[in-house]
A and B are shown apart, each in its own frame.
Chain A
Amino acid sequence: MISNQFVITLSYLLITLVPVTSFGVAFNVLMLLLAIWHGILVIKKNNGVRNSLINLIAITGMVITGLSVGIQNTVELFVALMLLACQLKVLQATTTKQWQQIYVLNFFTLSSVFLFSQSLYIALMVLMLLGVNLVAMLQVQPKTSLAFASKFTLTKVLISMALSILLLIFMPKIPSFWQMPGPTLAKTGLSENVDPFDIVNLAKSDELAFRAILNDRTQAPMGNKPLYWRAIIHDKFDGTQWRMSNLQNVSSNLTANLQLAPYKIIAEASNLPWLYALEHAVSPTKLVNNNYFGTLYRTDKITSTFEYQVQAANIRQQTSMPARQYRFNTTLPEQLNPKAQALAKQWDLDSANTNEFIELMRRYFSSQGFRYTLTPNTSESKHKIDEFLFDYKNGFCGHYASSAAILLRSAGIPARLVSGYLGAEYNKQQGYFSVYQYDAHAWVEYFVPNEGWKTLDPTAWISPQRLLGSLSEHQTLADEFQDNLGLSLVAWSNFTAINWLRLHLEQLDYQWTRWVLNFDQEKQTSLLQSLLGTKGKQWAGALVIFVISAILLLLFFYLQRHQQVKEPLVVKRYRQLIELSDKDLSAAPPKRAIDELTQQFSSHHEMLLQFYADFAADRYQGKSFGKNQNKHAKNLINSIKTKAKR
């Protein structure tokens, strides 16, 4: 079963190279080389490598793994070392016992990919690999055919899967015993420190950011009110980057506005703790807090999909601003962008209040031929904002938001940058919104005395169309958007068939995320309650074990009944015939048995002889026992029976 052994090596390689696991180039190359080596050994029919050589490779491999993965990434390091150890064991193993150890350990090694990704495709991949592993386990005994092993494994896995799904649904969920280090995931997404000129990179990613299930449609009326998903507040500008506010992860008391219906958001793994919500929000979900700005965050990083509930919050309107806070929100590096600062000061003199100032700014942006683009000019200059405002005049949301905030601050108006997402793709059948990385957006919040903080989206002046729907639905940017994404289903959404496929895959993934990955204690409780009632739900665990035992018992008896090999028809008839005799003929040879019967039922002499001829022809001469012969045999049996009754 050498080919099986190589398949195991290939499955390690697949897990190493699959994009969700990031062990670094060096480790990937190491695993690839080991796989090639195993391949050569298999072709040469060489089995088992010397222990001393394996030990040497193990030590070097551990060093390479440590350097490649990084000691601080505990989970990756652990999984990578597991993979390496298993691969080396595969190279070394010669006895059946060693192979069995490998196969058993594989159930741990292969499923550890779930720590990094739980998408439907990864789940199918792991299931397939485990299936292959089981086939190999069955074939440990020589001379077990692949066809038999595969068929047997498939049916057994299907039975076991059905039962374990029952267990998964009904077995009471236990809260985690202790905190484990999460894996670090290579994720594109919002960053804590936004370089306004960088956000455009997100437009190149069609990865899902989160999904929102808004039960109350009035909350987010389609088509007339833009959906601004706030995530991170940036209130310090250092000349190139807008830095995240220090208050971002400080919990604050806000009261829930119960007039608005709550909604659910399923956030994808982002490797950051920041969550998304419309306007100001609070959340009743465990581990989720809200900060002073009314945005939500989790106490730990989000390393797997996470579902939480959002409740709109009452905005605690700040009417005046203490001097310290005012200074903080109007600070700018003075020596940078002199032209922009001069322009703002000019507008400040020309305007009587903030609204007029903004109107001047709007007029400037709309009259100077600014363009909204996904491929803005890049600049190496220190005065990027100046170059953008007076030279290039083309940019993405980051450029507009950042410039507007700087202009506001230059005129002494407190302003900050908000990053999050704008818009969403609505799935009509399932009624949820999908928000992708390319929907990432940045906008501005500014402060007006006696009125409080207000939202301003300068992008809207340049491209009002962007406010409604997702970036993928943006007409004028369609070409740029597709060029940016490259090989992706979204890029081909012009073709109806591909768009249909994309939407259906997306829907499938939604159901998977919602019902499989996020089937938590809360959902289980409500499901059990609706199925079994309040009293019954505590018995769910016992009930499911009882049901599974019953199913297994039924399976057992069913299989035991069907274990008997089906006898050929002629043998069945023969047995029926000899049953009719007074003597026990079961051990007698057929010829003698028939003779015995002929003596007993002399009136059927002819028919019995005929039957024996048919019987012999079928059993000994390879002729078939057809319909006519069977009819004859049945007639014979019946007539003997009826005679016996009389």
Chain B
Amino acid sequence: MSFTRASNIGYFARSGDPALSEGYVSGFFSRVIRNKHEGECITFKHNTIYVLPSFTGFGFIAVSALNFVLGINYQNNLLLGVAYLMIMLLVVSIIYGYLNMNGTHVKLVAIKSAHCSVPPTVIFELSTKASLQQLSIEHNLLKQQISVPSVQTREHINVPFELPRGKHVLGRFKFVSHFPFGLVSVWSYLYCRKSIYAYPDPLVDSAQRQMFESHKKDDQFTHSSTHLSDELKQLTPYQSGMNMHRISWRHFAKTQQLLIKDYEGETGAQTLGFDFDHLQGNVEERLAKLCYLVLQADQHNLSYALKLGPRLIAAAQGEQHKVKCLEALSDF
């Protein structure tokens, strides 16, 4: 649904990532936008809001001119009146369109990197003093703009991306509103230098499973049976990034304390090594398989190392390690 035209206004064409954009003029504007709108939050105000009649608005002006010519030639005051009324409506729309956007605060709350199919999502927080109507968010990596019918005081907006595997610089988000009557385009930008990762989707097949099993059986990687059968060794306080599955909820219910169950003979006992070069298939397949291995290892709370060509990620475990590995896989 919507104002697909929006992005075609003026020079701010959807020319892709500013860094890649071509042409001197658009390049110049991209630089201006980058300098002016960079950051993780922005308040739309007089020096960051751009207003122009929209495509519909220009059509409206043309129809007004037509009415004006008819009014003059037929000496018809009512037709002239309609022509003037239309121009005044456009001007009033500009004022209300501007005021609609004015004072809105946009904050990039979270960048949720995820597997391509999840998908990776960016979350914005929009807050306004008055209500904000008919906003849409555009980005050159988005196929369809996200439309927000109205924001009363505060709202969180999810922007899910459909991305190919990789590391993507977020770049320029465009916030557009055509609020009153669709006659004007009122827009602003947020330029973010941060990156979002689209992890490969895990790929499961028997060969991999066998390999995973064979790694387990390998002498090099000493393996004891799964922790479920093990005796509880101790409870340690929870720290962020630790496996949620291992929280002792029973303790939480009693003492409101988050504790992690540690099992006998677990720590450092098993270390797995995943090597890109040892896998079969093309690059994407191998990465997808590696992704599966990393996830499996993490789920089983195993320590693992990852070798991606020349890059080696030393063996470790835990959430942060997993993320590091996944990011490495995305960025390969």
Q: Mark A85-116, 1 if CB is under 8 A from B, else 0.
A: 00000000000110011001101100110110
Interface residues of A in 146-162 (CB under 8 A from B): 152, 156-157, 159-161
B69→A177 contact, CB < 8 A: yes
> Which of B66, B91, B129 is close to A564, meaning CB atoms less than 8 Å apart?
B129
Return chain B residues, CB-CB under 8 Å to A165: 81
Answer yes or no: B88 CB below 8 A from chain A CBs.
Answer: yes
Contact present for B63 and A174 (CB under 8 Å): no
Chain A residues in 8 Å Cβ range of B96: 156, 559
**Other-chain contact of A137, B4, B75, B82, B181 (Cβ < 8 Å):** B181
Check B203 for interface membership: any CB of A closer than 8 A: no
Q: List 17 A-B contacts (CB under 8 A).
A: A96-B1, A100-B182, A108-B63, A111-B79, A114-B78, A118-B76, A126-B82, A141-B1, A157-B89, A160-B91, A164-B85, A174-B72, A182-B74, A559-B95, A563-B102, A564-B130, A565-B129
Q: A100-B182, A156-B180, A159-B92 are in contact. Are A143 and B59 (CB under 8 A)?
A: no
In the assembled complex, how far is the CB of residue A375 from the closest CB belonging to chain B, in whole angstroms?
39
Q: Is the CB of A520 within 8 A of B182?
A: no
Q: Indicate if the CB atoms of B79 and A114 lie closer than 8 Å.
A: yes
Closest 9 CB pairs of A and B: A164-B84, A160-B88, A143-B149, A137-B181, A167-B84, A111-B82, A114-B78, A164-B85, A176-B73
**B133: interface (CB < 8 Å):** yes
| Contacting pair B66 A108 (CB below 8 A) | yes
| A519 adjacent to B67 (CB under 8 Å) | no
A164 & B88 in contact (Cβ 8 Å cutoff):
yes
Given contacts A105-B63, A177-B69, contact A100 B99 (CB under 8 A): no
Q: Which residues of A contact B64 (CB under 8 A)?
A: 107
Q: Assess whether B56 is interfacial by the CB under 8 Å rule.
A: yes
Contacts of A105 in B (CB 8 A): 63
Residue A163 CB within 8 A of the other chain: yes
B128-159 vs A, Cβ < 8 Å mask (1 yes, 0 no):
01100110000000000001011001000000
B77 interface residue (CB < 8 Å to A): yes
Task: Answer whether residue A224 sits at the interface, using C-beta atoms and an 8 A cutoff.
Answer: no
Within 8 A of B (CB), among A110-144: 111-112, 114-115, 118, 123, 126, 130, 134, 137-138, 140-144
Best-surrounded residue of A114, A152, A176 (most CB of chain B within 10 A): A114
Q: Determine whether A527 belongs to the interface, using a CB cutoff of 8 Å to chain B.
A: no
Contacts of B95 in A (CB 8 A): 552, 555-556, 559
Nearest CB on A from B305, distance (A): 44
Complex: A329 Cα to B59 Cα, angstroms: 61
Whole-angstrom distance between the Cβ of A121 and the nearest chain B Cβ: 12
Specify which of B63, B75, B180, B182 is in contact with A107 (CB 8 Å cutoff).
B63
Bound-state CA distance A321–B1 (Å) is: 82
| Complex Cα–Cα for A152 and B2 (A) | 21
The DSSP consensus for interface residues of chain A is helix
A177, B65: Cα distance in complex, Å: 14
- Whether A178 and B77, one on each chain, are in contact in the complex, defined by CB atoms closer than 8 angstroms, is no
For chain A, the count of residues having a C-beta within 8 Å of the partner chain is 58
Given A114-B82, A168-B80, 17 more pairs with CB closer than 8 A = A97-B5, A112-B70, A114-B78, A126-B78, A137-B183, A141-B147, A141-B149, A142-B149, A144-B134, A163-B91, A168-B77, A177-B72, A177-B73, A182-B74, A560-B102, A563-B99, A565-B130
- Residues of B with C-beta under 8 A to A141: 1-2, 133-134, 147, 149, 178, 182
Complex contact B85–A96 (CB within 8 A): no
A167 with B88, Cβ < 8 A, contacts A100-B56, A555-B95 known: yes
For the complex formed, measure the closest distance between the CB of A560 and the CB atoms of chain B, giving whole angstroms: 6
In the assembled complex, the Cα of A108 lies from the Cα of B62 at a distance in Å of: 10
B141 nearest CB across to chain A (Å): 23
Residue of A nearest to B177 (CB): A141
Chain B positions within 8 Å of A, measured between CB atoms, are 1-5, 56, 59-60, 63-64, 66-67, 69-70, 72-82, 84-89, 91-93, 95-96, 99, 102-103, 129-130, 133-134, 147, 149-150, 153, 178, 180-183
Interface residues of A (CB under 8 A from B): 96-97, 100-101, 104-105, 107-108, 111-112, 114-115, 118, 123, 126, 130, 134, 137-138, 140-144, 152, 156-157, 159-161, 163-165, 167-168, 171, 174-180, 182, 304, 516-517, 519-520, 548, 552, 555-556, 559-560, 563-565
Contact of B78 among A134, A140, A516, A548 (CB under 8 A): A516
- Report Cα–Cα, A516/B78, bound state, in Å: 8
Alpha-carbon distance A101/B1, docked complex (angstroms): 15
Expressed in whole angstroms, the Cα–Cα distance for A436 and B55 within the complex equals 49
Chain A, Cβ-Cβ closest to B95:
A556
When distances are taken between beta carbons in the complex, the residues of chain B under 8 Å from A176 are 72-75
| The one of B5, B85, B93, B180 that contacts A161, using a Cβ cutoff of 8 Å | B85
Expressed in whole angstroms, the minimum distance between the Cβ of B137 and any Cβ of chain A is 14
- How many angstroms from the CA of A134 to the CA of B129 in the assembled complex? 26
Q: Give the distance to chain B from A130, nearest Cβ to Cβ, in Å.
A: 7
CB < 8 Å neighbour of A134 from B79, B88, B102, B181: B181
Out of B4, B129, B180, name the residue touching A138 (CB < 8 Å). Answer: B180
**Least CB separation from B86: chain A residue:** A107
On chain A, the residues within 8 Å of B180 by CB distance are: 138, 152, 156
Give Cα A142 to B76, complex, Å: 37
**Bound: A179/B70 CA distance, A:** 11
Q: How far is the CA of A346 from the CA of B93 in the complex (A)?
A: 83
Instruction: Report the Cα distance A176→B150, complex, angstroms.
Output: 46
Give A177 to B69 CA distance when docked, in angstroms.
Answer: 8
A544 to B300, CA, bound (A): 78
CB-CB under 8 A from A134, the residues of chain B are 89, 181
Complex Cα spacing A576 to B92, Å: 36
Q: B85 touching A160 by the CB < 8 A rule?
A: yes
Q: Are A140 and B129 in contact (CB under 8 A)?
A: no
A119–B296 Cα gap in the complex (Å)?
A: 80
A168, B4: Cβ atoms closer than 8 Å: no
- The smallest C-beta distance from B96 to any residue of chain A, in angstroms, reads 7
Contact A130 B80 (CB under 8 A): no
> A residues within 8 A CB of B66?
108
Smallest beta-carbon distance B307→chain A, Å = 47
Give the chain A neighbours of B134 by CB distance below 8 A. 141, 144
Docked-complex contact B81 and A164, CB < 8 angstroms: yes
Smallest CB separation, B98 vs chain A (Å): 8
B149 with A178: CB separation less than 8 A:
no
Query: How near does chain B come to A96, taking the closest CB pair, in angstroms?
Result: 6
Q: How far is the CA of A520 from the CA of B71 in the complex (A)?
A: 12
Name the residue of chain B whose CB is nearest to the CB of A567: B129
Q: Which residues from chain B contact A161 at a C-beta distance below 8 Å?
A: 85, 88
Check if A118 sits within 8 Å of B2, measured CB to CB: no
Partner of B82, one of A130, A180, A559: A130
Please report the C-alpha to C-alpha distance between residue A111 and residue B178 in the assembled complex, in whole angstroms: 25
CB distance from B18 to the nearest CB of A (A): 27
What residues on B are CB-neighbors of A177 within 8 Å?
A: 69, 72-73
CB-defined contacts of A137 to chain B, threshold 8 Å: 181-183
Kindly name the residue among B80, B88, B130 whose own CB sees the greatest number of chain A CB atoms within 10 A.
Answer: B88
Is there contact, CB below 8 Å, between A516 and B91? no
